[in-house]
Structure 1
Amino acid sequence: MTYELQDSIHVDAAPEEVHALLSDVTRTGEWSRQCHRCEWEDERRGVGARFIGHNRTLEREWQTVSEVIADVPGEHFAWSVGPGRAEWGYRMRPADGGGTELTEYTRTTEHLEKVFVERYGERAEEENAIRHAAAREGIPATLAAIRAVLTAR
């Protein structure tokens, strides 16, 4: 039931500018299809900092606690949801001709599989498939929305 997904897009901004935007998790609601708000748990930032995501779809609302696992200005910003259940992140690299190639990725873990079996029983695979489909559709939409935010700056 685990999966890994990623997609990339070109944005007309320097990698450091892209990183500065994406590592400010309080702005996530500007581009995410599910996470409408994030807040830091405390003043800490960088690897080890934790934040709460407030998420919603038409079917449900929920919160997650995530921990930053990568924070390299201009290169990489990532977090672990759960922690240890799923990883989400962005990689940035200078694009030929200027701007940034921005990649969003996610991967789930065997730990998430166990949590789903405990939580959903026989429906675990179905629930995982719903999340997989949402991520597969959401990543390109999120990347396009990030590009729009950067273009409007």
Structure 2
Amino acid sequence: MSDLTAAVTIAAPPAAVWALVTDVERMAEWSPQVRRSFVAGRPVRLGTRFLNINRDGWKHWPTSAKVVRFSPHEDFAFRITENRTVWSFRLEPSADGGTVLTQARETPDGIAPISTALVNAVLGGQRHFTDCLRTGMAQTLQRIKAAAES
């Protein structure tokens, strides 16, 4: 239940997909959990910090993040301060000139105990929350695909 991945092939070159996934203020357009993002400084690069307002039904909560990997057209990742997870987008050229985009939730340092406790108490438990994250990742990738291919 810790590391999660999902992937999609997009009929657009990595540069076009990169422009979308690194535009953090647009994250609410892609992710069903993110309501709004606020970025400290532009352009987004390694070390950039931002704040997300997230939601699950009527429940809203903030998270803060820092960009921890930034390899143009290849790898973009940010660490969520509150739960220690790392969310990433990896881009690989596909054989047909498009892009294979993989989104992952990585847990290199585990998940913070306070986050686990809050998920269990307020967000329906780990299994339910993980299922919601998996569904959300699939929606996120489909929305990015639609934007990149339009």
After superposition, the C-alpha distances for 1:29-85 in whole angstroms (9 at most, x for unaligned) are 111111021111234631111000111121400111000011111101110001661
Give TM-score, length-normalised by structure 2.
0.87
Specify whether residues 49 and 84 from structure 1 end up closer, same or farther in structure 2 by C-alpha distance, changes over 3 A only: farther
For these two proteins, the number of residue pairs brought into alignment is: 150
Alignment of 1:29-44 (within 5 A): 29-43=28-42
Asked whether the equivalents of residues 83 and 112 of structure 2 are also in contact (C-alpha less than 8 Å), the reply is no
SS in 2 for 1:112: coil
After superposition, the C-alpha distances for 1:73-127 in whole angstroms (9 at most, x for unaligned) are 110111000166111110001000110011011123555342236x549749x63
Asked whether the equivalents of residues 69 and 77 of structure 2 are also in contact (C-alpha less than 8 Å), the reply is yes
Partner of residue 146 from structure 1, selected from 105, 122, 144: 144
Give TM-score, length-normalised by structure 1.
0.86
Unaligned 5+ runs, structure 2: none
Specify whether residues 98 and 120 from structure 1 end up closer, same or farther in structure 2 by C-alpha distance, changes over 3 A only: closer
Greater shift after overlay, 132-141 or 96-105? Answer: 132-141
Asked whether the equivalents of residues 40 and 51 of structure 1 are also in contact (C-alpha less than 8 Å), the reply is yes
Task: Identify the structure with the greater helix proportion.
Answer: 1
Question: Which residue is equivalent to 1:82?
Answer: 81
Tell me which amino acid in the other structure corresponds to 2:74: E
CA distance in 2, matches of 1:116, 1:77: 23
CA distance in 1, matches of 2:30, 2:38: 15
CA distance in 1, matches of 2:25, 2:119: 34
Unaligned 5+ runs, structure 1: none
Question: Which residue is equivalent to 1:28?
Answer: 27
Tell me which amino acid in the other structure corresponds to 1:6: T
Give the root-mean-square deviation of aligned CA atoms: 2.4
